[in-house]
Amino acid sequence: MPTPLVVENQRFEFGDRWPVAFKYDDSRFYRKEAVSLQGEIEGVPHSTKSVDLVELHYRTGLLLLEAKDFRGQRIANKPRMQGEVAVEAAVKVRDTVAALVGASRKPVTEFTSEALAAALQRGKDVTVILWLEDDTFRDFQRAKQKLGALNGVLKARLAWLNVRTFVLSSGVANRLRDLAVSSLPGAVQPQK
């Protein structure tokens, strides 16, 4: 039975081959423990960030997914589409990885923290997905180019972690098996 998770006006359904799938940023561990690392450094506020979803496939590996829905906010988010959104996702991945390692060192019961930390070991596959919806993704080729450019930024920023990266959208064919994504009622739909 697929695990449906709702983020940013989207329903993400992971198939049975993903026995662990949860909204990490809604977890008690993240809300109570991981966010405790916050404060100011030289007057600049800093805090722990998180990806939206964490999934574990015991054979395929760990998947970290950040979802953004910019539909209906094209002007406000236009500068972010130049690469900032990919950098933001990379920072969230960095903080999530650190927190998952920390969770494995504590008695966390709401998710399998030891298995998630073990999935970060060398030789294990880790996949990072930025799922992005935007009004400008009406033309398939232009959407594919824009997503590819953002994926280049994401991949470069996460080179230190040695992960596979994808920037995907409902406007371009989903290349991941066992993941179905649909817009929720009320989500702004791109104009044709």
Domain ranges of the chain: 3-37+49-183
Output the pLDDT for position 177: 75
pTM, two decimal places: 0.88
Angle at Cα 23 formed by Cα 15 and Cα 134, nearest 5°? Answer: 85
Rounded to a whole number of angstroms, the distance between the first and last alpha carbons of the chain is 34
In whole angstroms, how large is the CA radius of gyration of the chain? 17
b (16+ CB within 10 A) / e for 152-162: ebbbebbeeee
pLDDT tens for each residue of 39-60: 888 988 888 899 999 999 877 7
Amino acid, res. 185: P
Mean pLDDT, all residues of the chain: 86
Top-confidence residue, 130 or 58: 130
User: How far apart are the C-alpha atoms of 120 and 105, rounded to whole Å?
Assistant: 14
- Residue 66 CB coordination number (10 Å): 28
**Closest by CA position to 176, among listed 68, 96, 61:** 61
Output the pLDDT for position 81: 65
Confidence of residue 24 (pLDDT cuts 50, 70, 90): very high
Q: Torsions phi, psi of 21, nearest 5?
A: -150, 120
Output the pLDDT for position 191: 46
